[in-house]
Each structure stands twice: as structure tokens, then as C-alpha cells.
Homo-oligomer: A and B are copies of this chain.
Amino acid sequence: MNQKGSHSVYGEFGWIQRIRTLLGVPRHGGIGIGDDAAVLPGGWLWTTDALVEGVHFLSSWPMEGVGYKSLACNVSDIVAMGGKPLYVLLTSGLSSDFGDEKYEGFLMGLDKALRDFDVALMGGDTVRSETVFFSLTVIGQAFSTPVLRSGARPGDIIYVTGVLGESALGLDILLGKNVALSQPEKYVNRHFYPPSRIAVMKKLLEKYTISAAIDCSDGFLADIDHIAEESGVGYEIELSRLPGPIGLSGGKTPTEFPWTYILSGGEDYEIIFTSPEVLPSSLADIPITSIGYITPYEKKLLWRGEVFEADLLPRGYTHF
């Protein structure tokens, strides 16, 4: 999420870099900052993600959805690293006017996610906070060698699972923005109940070489940039190949609807990954779309013949 309105000279990613430089001293083995999840000895994967009132959700929203999503976004980090999520700790920051009914709703949604993703709730912390927040931390086990962001090599093909942009459409519908769609509840559900890509990831790792992966959480362009930066490579993306919401057309340039949602919407929790191999167009009933190539250095975005400089298109999208 962008730090909209923050007076920080660093911003979120600047702080992450600063923390990495100043405090990220390696101790006790393992691989730390710079991936979706930390890697601990023994193939354990470990991640944390927080949802904050007024930034990631509103307390007027159905809390079952917020509870489900709070686990799903953490699960997605483990899956993107090539692992199975196993355990979670929940820290709830509750305000005095949040109310038992809302918290019950949150817990019911979380419970559904625990069952769907086969994850065990192992404990946590309950604290008072004027701003309601939920901070979850998930541990999983890598199927084999963890997949890092840093493994992409020039010539690798870039792929993405599923469909991009629907979650951000659902978010703007929730926020009452002017998004005229025939099935609004479909997009809202996609926002609250993101699917796990664990089955497709498991099959990919069993059969193919996956050189790098990331989950699509900040928005496609921001996330593919993370792979490029950590791998020290560039990319060429054929933007018009990106899999957008089914049935939505229009938009003659990448800065028009619905492409803005597809490129920068975020919170899709699809997997963006690279492989030197040509892969089938679906696995475990999930579409897999090839969208471009890893290059030695330059970043380029291709749009129906035109070339965009990658750094000129906006990253992320400020919904709130």
C-alpha cells in the first residue's frame, strides 16, 4: 500500500531498503528481507501481513470478508515462495466501538479461510487500539527449494496465473466509486475471497523449472519490478496479453479502463513467475498466460506494437 499523506521522505519501499541496510544483519542462517517470505533453516517459510482500518478495509464492510482476506493474503506469500502454509498467529487491535459482533464476523471469516487453506491457528495477541488492525503471521514448508524473486534470468518467459484486476474493481465498488459493472458482487467476492494458487504452484514445481516468483499484491507492474530488481534483470512485457476480467473490454491504451485495474490494481494474489520452459496454458484448472520475457537490462512495456518506457507508467493505485 502507498503511504498516501505520509510526510516520510522514504515511503514504504524506501523504509524497507533502509531497514534492510541498517538492521538486516544476517544471523543464524536463513534468507531475510527482499522476498515474499523469509526462509529459515529446514525449509520453513515465514511471512506477515497486516490489514488496517481506513487503509485496507472500512469497519462498515462485511467483516467475514476481511477475516478471510487477512489469512488469504498471507497464504499467498507462502505459495509464491513455493510452499504449503501450515500455521498462523493472529494479533487483533480492537477499538472500544468496534463491537463484539464485528469481531465475531471477522473470526468466522478467518475460520472459513483456516479450513479452506488447511491452516492451524496457533495463538496470538489481543490489544486495544483506536485504529482497528489485524496483523497475521504465517509459517509454511517449502515443497522443495524455495522460489525466490531473485532467480529470473535473461531469456526466461514471464507467466501469470488466473486473472488480474478483478479484486481492485471489487474494492472500488465497495468504496462506492463509479464503476458500472453488471455483476458487482462477483468482483466484491473476488476482493474478499481470493483463491489460493497452491495446487497450481505445486504442479508447476513438480514438473517444471520455476526460476522466480512473486504474488501479485501491490499491482502487476510494481510486483514484476520487484522480480527485476532482485534478479538484476529487465523485462519486456506485452501488456495486451495480460489476462484481465472476463467479459470486460474497451481501453485503447494501458492508461484507460480496465487496463489501469489490470496493471496496477493490486491484491489479485495471482502468482507472477518466470521459467525457461514453455508451459501449458492451464494447470489444475487455472489459466497460465505467458506475457513476456526477461531481458539482460532494459525494461520495456509493449502495447499492440507501441513501446512504453516501463518507468513512465504508474505503479500501484491509491484506492482510499
Contact (Cβ within 8 A) B94 A3: yes
Shortest CB–CB separation between residue A284 and chain B, in angstroms? Answer: 22
Pairwise interchain contact B107-A48, C-beta atoms closer than 8 A: no
Q: Which residues from B are CB-within-8-Å of A93?
A: 50, 52, 131, 133
Q: Is A250 an interface residue (CB 8 A)?
A: no
Closest chain-B Cβ to A46's Cβ sits at a distance in Å of 7
How far in angstroms is the closest Cβ of chain B from A137?
4
Instruction: Tell me the chain A residues, 59-114 only, with Cβ under 8 Å from chain B.
Output: 86-87, 89-94, 96-97, 99-100, 103, 107, 110-111, 114
Q: Are B24 and A121 in contact (CB under 8 A)?
A: yes
Give the contacting residue for A129; candidates B55, B100, B119; CB below 8 A.
B55
CB 8 Å contact bits of A120-135 with B (1 = contact, 0 = none)? 1111111111110101
A122 partner residues in chain B, CB cutoff 8 A: 30, 32-33, 38, 40, 46
| Chain B residue contacts of A3, Cβ below 8 A | 94, 96, 126, 128
CB distance from A225 to the nearest CB of B (A): 17
Q: Check A100/B10 contact, CB under 8 A, given A40-B139, A87-B38, A127-B50.
A: yes
Residue of B nearest to A74 (CB): B125
The residue of chain B having its C-beta at the shortest distance from the C-beta of A56 within the complex is B127
Question: Assuming the A-B contacts A7-B99, A94-B8, A99-B7, are A125 and B48 also in contact, with contact meaning beta carbons closer than 8 angstroms in the complex?
Answer: yes
Interface of A, secondary structure class, is mixed
Interface size on A, residues (CB 8 A): 76
Q: Does A22 contact B (CB under 8 A)?
A: yes
Counting CB contacts under 8 A, is A42 at the interface? yes
- Closest B residue, CB atoms, query A121: B23
Q: CB distance A128 to B55 under 8 Å?
A: yes
- Give the residues in chain B near A125, CB-CB below 8 Å: 48-50, 135
> Cα distance A122–B24 when bound, in Å?
7
Expressed in whole angstroms, the minimum distance between the Cβ of A195 and any Cβ of chain B is: 20
Residue of B nearest to A38 (CB): B122
Alpha-carbon separation in the docked complex, A193 to B205 (Å): 46
Specify which chain B residues have a CB less than 8 angstroms from the CB of A139 in the assembled complex: 40, 46, 139
Question: Residue A176 at the B interface, CB < 8 A?
Answer: no
Interface check A279, CB cutoff 8 A: no
Query: If A52-B129, A131-B93, A137-B48 touch, does A100 touch B32 (CB 8 Å cutoff)?
Result: no
Beyond A4-B128, A6-B94, A12-B126: 8 further Cβ-contacts under 8 Å?
A8-B99, A15-B126, A27-B120, A30-B122, A54-B130, A89-B137, A130-B131, A137-B137
The 7 A-B pairs at the shortest CB distance, nearest first, are namely A38-B122, A27-B120, A131-B131, A135-B135, A32-B122, A137-B137, A52-B129
Q: List 27 A-B contacts (CB under 8 A).
A: A1-B128, A3-B94, A5-B96, A7-B100, A8-B99, A8-B103, A12-B126, A15-B126, A23-B114, A27-B86, A27-B114, A27-B120, A28-B86, A32-B121, A35-B123, A38-B122, A46-B87, A46-B122, A48-B91, A48-B123, A49-B125, A52-B93, A55-B127, A91-B135, A133-B133, A133-B135, A137-B137
